[in-house]
Amino acid sequence: MNQVSADYIQPHPCGHFIHSAPNLYILVRYQSTKVAPDYCLASCEFLDDTDPTKGKGLATYLSLFDAYLAAAFSCKPGEQWRVLPASSFDPRDLIDANYGQLHYFVHFGWAAADRKIFRRTQGGLASVYALDTIQSDQSIPLYIEIHIPDEDLAHYVFLREQAGLFAHKEHDLSFALMDEQQRLQQVSLAIAALPAQHAVGTVSQLAFYDFNFAQWLFVPIEKFNDFYKEGGIS
């Protein structure tokens, strides 16, 4: 595998280091210094919880609402997380730390069992993710292009439709058009409607939030695999 320095990666003329299709969102917190006041750390997941030396992947969200909800549960005194478009993040330090690779996780749903959502010991909600990796190539000294495969996008939609969320795209758009106060109000409503939570264990369900009825919906984790058994996309 060709391992290169992330110094080869340069921003697109628009100034962004990451371009994604469709748009992705991430969580960041400032770790400012006098020489780098805008320096941020991004929320990441270990590739292998039992072996941190295998590296980390950038945690990303297709839904702006899901990113806001994740940020609400990740924040704690002295460690405030905010939501940004992935395009605004400079991933070069993360790529260097992972030997020339950008690993990224795409959130598919919230991990649950018995209609109870899993909450991590650090406080955050547990996610079910899809993982992919981009190899930095020194022969192409350009920005990073992230293209979510059509099959993964169809899988994402399939799971929400199984939960009865046929208007999830409209929900995502309406949330994106809200101002910051309205967004935080919607997140507060979702947290108020959140069912019981418990420590992370064996995942048997995926949880999704329904804007229209301010309620949480659950689908069996088997549906995550059924998509492929039923042939994926046509």
C-alpha separations of 37 from 34, 96, 97, 105, 201 in Å: 6, 21, 21, 27, 39
49 pLDDT band (50/70/90 cuts)?
Answer: confident
Provide mean pLDDT across the span 70-75.
90
**Would residue 234 count as lying in a domain?**
no
| Residue 213 forms part of a structural domain | yes
Is residue 12 in some structural domain?
Answer: yes
Question: At 9, is the pLDDT very low, low, confident or very high (cuts 50, 70, 90)?
Answer: very low
Helix (H/G/I), strand (E/B), else coil: 213: coil
- Residue 209 — very low, low, confident or very high, per pLDDT cuts 50/70/90? very high
Instruction: Return the pLDDT at 15.
Output: 55
C-beta separation of 85 from 24 below 8 A: yes
Indicate the SS3 state at residue 165: coil
- 15-25 confidence digits (pLDDT tens): 567 878 899 99
Residue 214 lies in a domain: yes
Q: Which of 76, 80, 42 is nearest to 61 (CA)?
A: 42
Q: What total number of domains does the chain contain?
A: 1
Q: 13 pLDDT exceeds 60?
A: no
Q: Is residue 197 assigned to a domain?
A: yes
Would you say 61 and 105 are in contact if contact means Cβ atoms under 8 Å apart?
Answer: no
The fraction of the chain above a pLDDT of 90, given in percent, is 49
Residue 122 in any domain: the answer is yes
pLDDT, position 99 = 83
Question: Mean per-residue pLDDT for 200-224?
Answer: 92
Higher pLDDT, 228 or 234: 228
| Residue 212 resides in a domain | yes
Q: Are strands 116-119 and 197-199 parallel, antiparallel or unpaired?
A: parallel
Written as six digits, the tokens of 151 are 């099959």
User: Residue 115 has what pLDDT?
Assistant: 93
Beta bridge partners, 146, equal 20
Give the CA distances from residue 77 to residues 38, 86, 112, 126, 183, in Å, rounded to whole numbers and listed in that order: 20, 24, 26, 20, 21
- The more confidently predicted of residues 86 and 139 is 86
Q: Is residue 1 part of a domain?
A: no
For 25, the domain range is 6-229
d(CA 103, CA 94) in angstroms, rounded, equals: 9
Q: How confident is the model at residue 186 (pLDDT cuts 50, 70, 90)?
A: very high
∠ CA 169-25-210 to the nearest 5 degrees?
Answer: 35
Whether the pLDDT of residue 1 is over 60: the answer is: no
Give 116-143 pLDDT, tens digit per residue: 999 988 888 999 999 998 887 654 445 7
Q: How far apart are CA 123 and CA 112, in angstroms?
A: 15
How far is residue 165's CA from residue 231's CA, in Å, rounded to a whole number?
21
- Nearest Cα neighbor of 189 from 174, 161, 204, 211 is 211
Separation of alpha carbons 113 and 80, rounded Å: 28
Tokens of 157: 């939609």
More confident call, 30 vs 78: 30
Give the SS3 label for residue 230: coil
